[in-house]
């Protein structure tokens, strides 16, 4: 999927509204909070400053909205993303002007890449000071222009109800994404006689829905002729709520299913038809199957480079059907035989309706050889790792966590080796359970996202599986967890290095270390940083384990904790994530065997 082409000019796309009721003159800041309440907002992650103080004052008077104070604006943005990814509702984050606004940029870009509905609100200097280089002025409207679905600069308090209503509509419909609302300080203070919008009709914003009837019949014809079909499904299945329709379609046809990283959980990974996920670090059997298939049904995907490798060689033997709600994504990365512009949920429902009227049995017997071939690949190339005596292997920790939680937890991750291992060794059978920064690859995402997800889903176990480098980037949010009583847990897969970069150094740069050791090279026998006192300084219980026999009891203590909890797990830095298809490579370049490296020493022996 790609990004909608909605204009980002402040005054375009106005809703045609009707007056539903009149209200007395109201200050802009109060009107804004009332508008959020009308939109159904129950939580906002907001860090105050000079240009947003009025909005915070109004929030203190709200009886419907919980305001959570992050300890960094980026952390707040990732919290809003965690909330949105776990629920499908728009996450809401707010910051002041200037540095507060620019600290949101990474989170906004992350939401844009992964199609996450988000409302980012920024205070702004007064309208009379805009463009004059005033204190803490930044053109956040211009800065974020390439990474939002739409932007608003509110110049009158009377526009606030319309702007907020439009913002939530745009963020959550079609292909979801972030919307920015920039509100100058004087607009927050000014009053207006307000009319509330009663209708939504945004010129130029059109959402494709039902697929073309002939296209659906043509797809069924292609299935009838196929000898080796495959389903390649992504995040669009989850955002459209099409997981039940996908399951019905897959069961009816018998077509094997592989997902993208963003699509993990949209099809149960414990289902016999699941080949888990494909791409650079996906299953060998999924990559082989897509390479050999003669029909590829691509649903709600964007042919990301981490999936395709060398695009011209990806699914080269297949007739490719691509269904997506975003017209700009069709034939963007991969030229396909049959692009279909439609809501993937409606397309699948239409396919299922037509299939239900057919009398013959599915799946066809002619596919038996294809299924047997995939079964052979699955048996020969499972995800695996080699245990090392007296060393904790990261994969073992994730397997044990999956066992103890019965695969039912919401799991967030940072970015790196631990992210890939989590996708490999934790089996996800439900959508919105694997929350990760897939497109942008934002380190520091994991723990703030876990906080947002836990706020949204207080009755679910929420665990961040993180790397030591990634966790440190937003470690300050431990303070938020304790102050707000958010019992999100964290497991640090601690290899004392930037593990993913180290793997590439080992594979492609003869092991030369380009500043990837996270310790102090002058003190090689100590691990830096020491997360136990760091966590204790925030009031968060924490412990460290170094031996395999400690894994299960430590994980149980983490799960039993009624508060936030951090488990620091020391693992060898020499462990690589496999399989691996090098960037720009093909299935012929896949790396299956580990390198012959000495195992990493434990805590007392960490090298400089």
502-522 residue pLDDT tens: 999 999 999 999 999 998 877
Q: What is the pLDDT of residues 197-252, one digit of tens each?
A: 888 889 889 898 899 999 999 999 999 999 999 999 999 999 999 999 999 999 99
Name which residue leads in pLDDT, 418 or 13.
418
> For 518-529, b where at least 16 C-beta lie within 10 A, e where not — what string?
bbeeeeeeebeb
Is position 262 annotated as part of the catalytic site?
no
User: What's 434-480 look like in SS3?
Assistant: EECCCCCCCCCCHHHHHHHHHHHCCCCCEEEEEEHHHHHCCCCHHHH
pLDDT of residue 200: 84
Rg (CA), the chain: 25
> How far apart are alpha carbons 432 and 453 in whole angstroms?
10
Chain mean pLDDT for the chain: 93
Which DSSP string do the residues of 170-228 spell out, in sequence order? HHHSSS--EEEEEEEHHHHH-EE--EEE-----TT-----SPPHHHHHHHHHHHHH-SS
pTM of the model as a whole: 0.94
Domain 394-605, classified CATH 3.40.50.970, yes or no: yes
Active-site annotation holds for 73: yes
CA–CA distance, 594 with 584 (Å, rounded to integer): 20
pLDDT tens digits for 273-283? 999 999 999 99
Residue 194 binned pLDDT confidence (cut-offs 50, 70, 90) = confident
Catalytic residue selected from 280, 443, 500, 580:
500
**Residue 296 contacts residue 385 (beta carbons within 8 Å):** no
Q: Is 136 a catalytic residue?
A: yes
How high is the pLDDT of residue 127?
95
| Long-range pairs for 126-130: beta carbons < 8 A, 24 or more residues apart | 126/184, 126/185, 126/186, 127/155, 127/184, 127/186, 127/187, 128/186, 130/184
Q: How far apart are CA 221 and CA 82, in angstroms?
A: 40
| Architecture of the domain spanning 215-380 | 3-Layer(aba) Sandwich (3.40)
Q: How many whole angstroms from its chain centre is CA 48?
A: 26
Mean pLDDT of 366-385: 96
Q: Is the model more confident about 87 or about 8? A: 87
Q: What's the count of helices (H) and strands (E) in the chain, helices before strands?
A: 23, 22
Exactly one of 53, 57, 136, 476 is catalytic; name it: 136
- Model confidence at 21, pLDDT cuts 50, 70, 90, reads low
Question: Where are the CATH 3.40.50.970 domain residues in the chain?
Answer: 19-197, 394-605
Considering only residues 485 and 11, tell me which one the structure prediction assigns the higher pLDDT. 485
Bridge partner list, 569: 493, 545
pLDDT > 60? residue 9: no
Average pLDDT over residues 406-435: 98
Residue range 435-459: mean pLDDT, rounded:
98
Q: How far is CA 223 from CA 275, 323, 365, 560, in A?
A: 19, 15, 13, 49
Q: Is 482 known to be catalytic?
A: no
Write out the residue limits of the CATH 3.40.50.1220 domain(s) in the chain. Answer: 215-380
**H-assigned helices in 493-607:** 499-508, 531-537, 551-560
User: What's the average model confidence in pLDDT over 149-154?
Assistant: 98
Please identify which of the residues 54, 73, 267, 419 carries the catalytic annotation. Answer: 73
pLDDT one-digit tens code per residue, 102-147: 999 999 999 999 999 999 999 999 999 999 999 999 999 999 999 9
* pLDDT of amino acid 10: 38
The percentage of the chain sitting over the pLDDT mark of 90, rounded to a whole number, equals: 87
Pairwise CA distance, residues 284 & 377, whole Å: 8
Strands 19-22, 195-197: pairing kind: antiparallel
Query: Does residue 505 carry a catalytic annotation?
Result: no
Q: How far apart are CA 161 and CA 159, in angstroms?
A: 6
Annotated catalytic residue: which of 149, 185, 454, 489? 185
Note the CATH number of domain 19-197: 3.40.50.970
Alpha carbon distance 450, 84 (integer Å):
11
pLDDT at 14: 41
Among candidates 177, 533, 212, 202, which has minimal Cα distance to 351? 212
What is the pLDDT at residue 61?
Answer: 97
pLDDT at 359: 64
Q: What is the pLDDT of residues 247-306, one digit of tens each?
A: 999 999 999 999 999 999 999 999 999 999 999 999 999 999 999 999 999 999 999 999
Q: What confidence category does residue 83 fall into, taking pLDDT thresholds of 50, 70 and 90?
A: very high
């Amino acid at each position: 999927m790609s990004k909608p082409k909605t204009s980002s000019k402040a005054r375009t796309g106005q809703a045609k509204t009707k007056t539903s009721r009149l209200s007395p003159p109201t200050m802009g800041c109060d009107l804004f909070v009332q508008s959020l309440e009308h939109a159904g907002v129950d939580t906002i992650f907001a860090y105050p400053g000079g240009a947003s103080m009025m909005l915070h004052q109004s929030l203190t008077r709200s009886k419907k909205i919980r305001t959570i104070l992050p300890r960094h604006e980026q952390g707040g943005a990732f919290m809003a993303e965690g909330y949105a990814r776990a629920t499908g509702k728009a996450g809401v984050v707010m910051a002041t002007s200037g540095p507060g606004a620019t600290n949101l940029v990474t989170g906004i870009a992350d939401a844009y890449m992964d199609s996450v509905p988000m409302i980012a609100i920024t205070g702004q200097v007064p309208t009379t000071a805009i463009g004059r280089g005033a204190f803490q002025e930044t053109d956040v409207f211009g800065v974020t222009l390439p990474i939002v679905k739409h932007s608003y600069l509110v110049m009158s308090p009377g526009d606030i109800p319309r702007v907020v209503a439009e913002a939530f509509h745009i963020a959550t419909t079609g292909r979801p994404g972030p919307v920015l609302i920039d509100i100058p300080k004087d607009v927050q203070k000014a009053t207006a006689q307000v009319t509330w919008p009663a209708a939504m009709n945004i010129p130029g914003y059109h959402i494709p829905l039902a697929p073309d009837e002939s296209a659906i019949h043509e797809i069924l014809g292609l299935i009838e002729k196929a000898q080796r079909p495959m389903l390649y499904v992504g995040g669009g299945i989850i955002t459209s709520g099409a997981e039940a329709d996908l399951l019905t379609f897959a069961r009816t046809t018998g077509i094997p299913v592989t997902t993208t990283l963003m699509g993990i959980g949209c099809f149960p990974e414990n289902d016999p038809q699941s080949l888990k996920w494909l791409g650079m670090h996906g299953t060998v059997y999924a990559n082989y199957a897509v390479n050999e298939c003669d029909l590829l049904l691509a649903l709600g995907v964007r042919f990301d480079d981490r999936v395709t490798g060398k695009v011209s060689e990806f699914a080269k033997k297949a007739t490719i059907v691509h269904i997506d709600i975003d017209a700009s994504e069709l034939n963007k990365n991969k030229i396909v035989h049959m692009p279909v512009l439609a809501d993937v949920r409606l397309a699948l429902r239409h396919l299922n309706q037509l299939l239900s009227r057919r009398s013959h049995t599915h799946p066809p017997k002619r596919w038996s050889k294809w299924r047997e071939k995939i079964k052979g690949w699955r048996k020969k190339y499972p995800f695996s790792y080699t245990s090392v005596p007296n060393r904790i292997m990261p994969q073992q920790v994730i397997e044990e966590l999956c066992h103890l939680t019965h695969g039912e937890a919401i799991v967030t991750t940072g970015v790196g080796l631990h992210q890939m291992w989590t996708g490999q060794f934790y089996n996800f059978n439900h959508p919105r359970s694997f929350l990760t920064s897939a497109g942008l690859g934002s380190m520091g995402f994991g723990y703030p996202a876990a906080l947002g997800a836990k706020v949204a889903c207080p009755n679910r176990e929420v665990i961040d599986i993180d790397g030591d480098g990634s966790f440190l980037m937003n470690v300050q949010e431990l303070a938020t967890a304790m102050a707000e009583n958010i019992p999100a847990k964290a497991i640090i897969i601690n290899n004392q290095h930037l593990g993913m970069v180290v793997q590439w150094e080992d594979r492609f740069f003869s092991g030369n270390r380009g500043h990837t050791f996270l310790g102090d090279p002058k003190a090689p026998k100590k691990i830096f940083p020491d997360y136990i006192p760091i966590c204790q300084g925030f009031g968060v219980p924490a412990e460290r384990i170094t031996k395999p026999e400690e894994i299960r009891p430590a994980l149980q203590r983490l799960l039993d904790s009624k508060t936030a909890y951090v488990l620091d797990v020391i693992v060898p830095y020499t462990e690589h994530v496999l399989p691996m298809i090098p960037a720009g490579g093909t299935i012929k370049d896949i790396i299956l065997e580990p390198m012959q490296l000495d195992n990493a020493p434990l805590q007392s022996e960490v090298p400089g």
